[in-house]
Amino acid sequence: MQEIPQRIAEPLIKWFIEHKRELPWRQDKDPYHVWISEIMLQQTRIEAALSSYRRFTEELPDIESLAKIDDDSLMKLWEGLGYYSRARNLKKAAQMIMRDFGGRFPSTYREIITLPGIGEYTAGAIASICFDEPVPAVDGNVLRVVARVNADDSNVLLPQTKKRVTAMLRAIMPRQSGAFNEGLMELGETVCLPNGAPKCGECPIQRSCKAYRDGMTEKLPVRIKQLKRTRVEKTVFLIRTADGRLALEKRPEKGLLAGLYQLPYIDGYYSTEELCGILTEWGLCVSNLYHHKDAKHVFTHIDWLMKSYSVAVEQPTDRFIWVTGDELQSIYPLPTAYRKLL
Whats the size of the chain, residue-wise? 342
The DSSP symbol for 191 reads: T
> Is 327 labeled as catalytic in the residue annotation?
no
Catalytic residue (choose from 3, 10, 22, 38): 38
Pick from 337, 332, 339, 248: nearest CA to 74? 332
Q: Are 217 and 149 in contact (CB under 8 A)?
A: no
Any idea which residues carry the catalytic annotation? 38
